[in-house]
Amino acid sequence: MGALSIRQVRKSYGHTHILKSIDIEVEKGEFLILVGPSGCGKSTLLSMIAGLDTPTSGQIMLADRDVTYAPPKDRDIAMVFQSYALYPNMNVAENIAFGLEMRKVPKAEREAAVKRVAKMLQIEHLLDRKPGQLSGGQRQRVAMGRALSRNPALFLFDEPLSNLDAKLRVEMRAEIKLLHQRTKTTTVYVTHDQVEAMTLGDRIAVMRDGLVQQLGTPEDIYTRPANLFVAGFIGSPAMNTITAALGKNGLMAHGVQLPLADDDLAAIRTGQVSDVVYGLRPESLRFADTGLAGTLRMIEPTGPETYAYVDTAVGDLVVRVPGHVSQAVGDNVWLSWDTRTVHLFDAKTEARIVAA
Amino acid sequence: MLPSTQQPVFDWTRALLWAVLIGLAAFFLAPLYVMLSTSLKTMDEIREGSLLALPHAISFEAWAKAWSTACTGTDCGGLAPFFMNSVKMVIPAVLVSTLLGAINGYVLTKWKFKGSDTLFALMLFGVFMPLQVILLPMSQILGYLGLASSIWGLVLVHLLCGLPSTTLFFRNYYAALPDELIKAAMLDGAGFWRIFWRIVLPLSTPILVVTLIWQFTQIWNDFLFGVVFSSTDSKPLTVGLNNLANTSSSVKEYNVDMAAAMIAGLPTLFVYIVAGKYFVRGLTAGAVKG
């Protein structure tokens, strides 16, 4: 039994179905990420866990207690909002202590909690200031402090880093991770940023159109995406995909034969799949002396690695190369890859084809 | 802006602008000036001098008479009792209608329910409704309630008629207040009233001031309800002023009339001067996202 169970949760407004049966179990101390494009229902699901919204049907359990219709204050949950939602009329210390005050914690204990949290987040020097006098990063810390002060059973984050600039976002991301390692509080974290999802999560639920597309560890999600959507959503630059058909000689795309491992070929045959999407991560591709011929069309250096866009007979492919690329735009190049790094999907159902 | 080294040049457009502004200000201030200077003159001086002349010697006799001995009808007690009636009426009516408006606005924006938008639309009718329409039904209701002709009856009428405007003010102000603030407070364990007292109301200073000024001015200056729903003991100041000015005696005492009008107008003038800057700030709040 987990710390949080979401069972067959649905949400509809008339004929619009926001969530179509969600089942997720979160273990105690786990860091779960809900990730997906906007409109996938991840924020609605988070609101329901918080008690700010109720499902049309289904159940939400917190440590064996049915809280589906319980008000937020009876759930022992703390939440960090995208806009931080600090109370502008209270100073930092009052903001942090407000939740404790509402729960009738004695003053001495409240002050101790404020001190402990302020020290943990290094905001001791800001306690007397109003939120309006703080920078974005400081507000973010105070918002986390407010959530931490109560030692909640469950932590919720709703895109907490979206309002920060790129550098601060990386810093705060690391801090959230460190904080979780230290406190081991069960956490549900909503984001649309796949890097946040990969770096922070113990497990990731990739959502689209009110359904969980895949629930697994970051490694699972990245190396064995369950379908074409997950494959395309996680990873940047996105996975290269080539639509191919099964012929007598194996997989053919635009007259080019695509190399396949024997067990993959067998899986396609047994599954009787006719049209296949052949996926290659940009880092699986490398420049070679032979292989798939193409022309180098564009180079994007990022410093530690370079993205090379190659125009080939099967379409444009992105290659991720460590360091810099010695070839120049317009050069003829050849690409090769290991057949074990290939991802195969059924073009019709978009599901992953799993080798036996 | 001109560089500081450059000599300022005489600018015709600017001079014209100043002339127009000063002219308009004088135009609007002239009645106040006439009232004030006339109220400080003696009757002899008023008969001899011109309307715009300054008083030779300042005399507060007219003010004293208007306050305590001038006749309104058959009763010659001055405006003092009427002033007290107005104070007794305006304070509860303003405070309660403002507070209820704040609660209404809070509910209509942060605790929406089925039909809350329709309810608000219906309340808006109250802002535009001509008040003469309610005179008869209201006097009947006041009769049923046993409040007819009393100050409390006037308080109730002003409270009810003020609610649409106060609700409108607060609803529009709270619509700009982020919903996440309320959600955060709910997760922190605060309920409906605690969120209102601890978070929403402390953030409402500008709109509170606007509403207080607005309601004060409306209720203090009201004549219609005052004359319809009051009796001898409960007449507000506006009715007293009217009676004072209309009581005919052998001579028309302009200085007393002017002093009485000044007494009636001073409280609103005072409120505007003290809280005026909040008024402008509150009216434009939310128009530009800070």
Nearest CA in chain B to A75: B187
Give the separation between CA B144 and CA B138, rounded to whole angstroms.
Answer: 10
**Cα nearest neighbour of B181 on chain A:** A85
Q: Do residues B94 and B173 share a domain? A: yes
Write down the residue that tokens 């990969």 correspond to. Answer: A198
Q: Quote the minimal CA–CA distance from A78 to chain B in Å.
A: 6
- The model carries a pTM of 0.83
Indicate if the pLDDT at residue A56 is higher than 50: yes
Across the interface, do B180 and A83 touch by the CB < 8 Å criterion?
Answer: yes
Domain that holds residue B93: 80-253+262-284
Beta-carbon separation of A73 and B181 below 8 A: no
Residue B283: what pLDDT? 60
Contact across the interface for B180 and A52, Cβ inside 8 Å: no
Residues of B in contact with A131 (CB under 8 A): none
DSSP 8-state secondary structure symbol assigned to residue A86: -
* CA–CA distance, A256 with A254 (Å, rounded to integer): 6
Same domain, B50 and B102: no
Task: List the 194-213 stretch of B: residues with Cβ below 8 A of A.
Answer: 194, 198-199, 202-203
The answer to whether residue B89 scores a pLDDT higher than 90 is yes
Contact between chains at A88 and B203 (C-beta distance less than 8 A)? yes
Q: Is residue B187 less than 8 Å (CB to CB) from chain A?
A: yes
- Please give, rounded to a whole number of angstroms, the shortest distance from the CA of B179 to a CA of chain A: 9
Two tokens, residue B48:
């001899």
Distance CA B262, CA B98 (A): 27
A345 SS3 class: strand
Domain membership of residue B209 (yes or no) is yes
Please, are residues A117 and A145 in contact by the beta-carbon 8 Å criterion? yes
8 Å CB contact of B184 and A85: yes
Smallest Cβ–Cβ distance between B189 and the set A52, A85, A102 belongs to A102
pLDDT in tens, B133-187: 999 999 999 999 998 889 999 999 999 999 999 999 999 999 999 999 999 999 9
Nearest CA in chain A to B290: A132
B108, B175 contact by CB (below 8 A): no
pLDDT category, B129, cuts 50, 70, 90?
confident
Q: Give the three-state DSSP class for A298.
A: strand
CB atoms near residue B188 (< 10 Å): 28
A197 sits in which H/E element: helix A194-200
Average pLDDT of B220-242?
92
Residue B7 pLDDT:
64
User: Which among A140, A125, A145 has a CA at the least distance from the CA of A173?
Assistant: A140
Portion of chain B with pLDDT greater than 70, in percent = 92
Is B187 in contact with A73 (Cβ distance < 8 A)? yes
Single-letter residue type at B127: V
Examine residue B99 and state whether it is found in any structural domain, yes or no.
yes
Are A85 and B181 inside 8 Å of each other by CB? yes
- Binary contact (B187, A83; C-beta < 8 A): no
In a domain, B7, yes or no: no
CATH class assigned to A241-346: mainly beta
Of B180, B190, B194, the CB nearest to A81: B180
pLDDT at B4: 54
The pair of three-digit structure tokens given for residue A254, joined into one six-digit string: 């635009």
| CATH number of the domain to which B180 belongs | 1.10.3720.10
Q: Are residues B86 and B54 in the same domain?
A: no
| CB contact residues (below 8 A), chain A span 153-182, against chain B | none
* Half-sphere exposure at residue A279, Cβ-oriented, CA atoms within 13 angstroms: 28
Chain B: give the shortest CA distance to residue A323, in Å.
Answer: 45
Question: Do B170 and B226 fall into the same domain?
Answer: yes
The CATH homologous superfamily to which domain A4-232 belongs is: P-loop containing nucleotide triphosphate hydrolases (3.40.50.300)
Distance between A82 CA and the closest CA of chain B, angstroms? 9
Residue B1: is its pLDDT beyond 70? Answer: no
Domain count along chain B: 2
- In the sheet that holds A31-35, the strands lie side by side as A77-80, A154-158, A186-191, A31-35, A203-208, A211-216
Cβ-defined contact of B187 to A98 (cutoff 8 Å) = no
User: Which residues of chain B lie closer than 8 angstroms to A81, CB-CB?
Assistant: 180, 183-184
Quick check: B181 contacting A, CB < 8 Å? yes
Residues of A in contact with B188 (CB under 8 A): 73, 98-99, 102, 146
Q: DSSP of chain B, one letter per residue?
A: ---TTSPPPP-HHHHHHHHHHHHHHHHHHHHHHHHHHHHTS-HHHHHHS-TTSPPSS---HHHHHHHHT--BTTB-S-SHHHHHHHHHHHHHHHHHHHHHHHHHHHHHHHS--TTHHHHHHHHHHHHHS-GGGGHHHHHHHHHHHT-TTSHHHHHHHHHHHHHHHHHHHHHHHHHTS-HHHHHHHHHTT--HHHHIIIIIGGG-HHHHHHHHHHHHHHHHH--HHHHHS--GGG--HHHHHHHHHH---SS--HHHHHHHHHHHHHHHHHHHHHHHHHHHHHHHBTTB--
Mean of pLDDT values over B115-142:
91
Q: Which of B92, B91, B94, B101 is nearest to B165 (CA)?
A: B101
Please indicate if any CB of chain B lies within 8 Å of the CB of A88. Answer: yes
Alpha carbon distance, N-terminus to C-terminus of chain B: 26
The answer to whether residues B133 and B225 belong to one domain is: yes
Distance from CA of B290 to the nearest CA of A (A): 11
A105: nearest CA in chain B? B189
Which pLDDT does position A276 carry in this prediction? 92
Residues B22-47, mean pLDDT to the nearest whole number = 92
Q: B3 or A340, which is more confident?
A: A340
Rounded to 10 deg, the angle between the B116-128 and B151-175 helix axes is: 130
**What ranges make up the beta strands (E) of A172-314?**
186-191, 203-208, 211-216, 240-247, 250-253, 256-258, 275-280, 286-288, 292-301, 305-312
Q: Same domain, yes or no, for B91 and B24?
A: no
Q: Is B88 part of the contact surface with chain A (CB cutoff 8 Å)?
A: no
Selecting from B181, B188, B202 the residue whose C-beta is nearest the C-beta of A102 gives: B188
Domain coordinates in residue numbering, chain A: 4-232, 241-346
**Same domain membership, residue B38 and residue B160:** no
pLDDT, tens digit (0-9, with 9 covering 90-100), for B239-260: 999 998 887 666 788 899 999 9
Residue pair A174/A166 in contact (Cβ under 8 Å)? The answer is no
User: Could you please report the per-residue DSSP string of A27-81?
Assistant: -TT-EEEEE-STTSSHHHHHHHHHTSS--SEEEEEETTEE-TT--GGGS-EEEE-
Q: Is position B131 within any domain?
A: yes
A123-135 residue pLDDT tens = 999 999 999 889 8
Which tokens go with A162?
């979206």
Contact A98 B185 (CB under 8 A): yes
Residues of B in contact with A88 (CB under 8 A): 203
State yes or no: pLDDT of B96 exceeds 80: yes
Does a structural domain hold residue B231?
yes
- For chain A, the distance separating the N- and C-terminal CA atoms, rounded to the nearest angstrom, is 31
> Rounded to 5 degrees, what angle do the CA atoms A87, A89, A50 make?
15
Q: Which residues in chain A have their CB less than 8 angstroms from residue B191's CB?
A: 73
Around Cβ B116, how many Cβ atoms within 10 Å?
14
With the C-alpha atoms ordered B4, B9, B12, B18, is the resulting torsion angle positive or negative? positive
List the single residue in B187, B194, B203 with the smallest CB-CB distance to A89.
B203
The model's confidence at residue B285, banded by pLDDT at 50, 70 and 90, is low
The answer to whether residues B22 and B150 belong to one domain is no
Q: Return the pLDDT at B206.
A: 86
Query: Same structural domain for residues B50 and B187?
Result: no
The answer to the question of residue B140 being in a domain is yes
**Residues B88, B140 share a domain:** yes
For residue A141, give the nearest of A129, A242, B234, A300 by alpha carbon: A129
Rounded Cα distance between B264 and B245, Å, is: 12
Interface test with A, best of B111, B112, B187 (most A CBs within 10 A): B187
**Considering chain A, what is the average pLDDT of its residues?**
91
Q: Which residue of A has its CA nearest to B111?
A: A52
Task: Tell how strand A57-62 and strand A65-66 pair up.
Answer: antiparallel
The alpha-carbon radius of gyration of chain B (Å, integer) is 24
Please indicate whether, in this complex, the C-beta atoms of B183 and A79 are within 8 angstroms of each other.
Answer: yes
Residues B50, B155, single domain; the answer is no
B68 domain residue, yes or no: no
A354 — pLDDT class (breaks 50, 70, 90): confident
- Owner of token pair 């960090």: A80
Q: Are residues B36 and B179 in the same domain?
A: no
A83-138 per-position pLDDT tens digit? 889 999 999 999 999 999 999 999 999 999 999 999 988 899 999 999 988 988 89
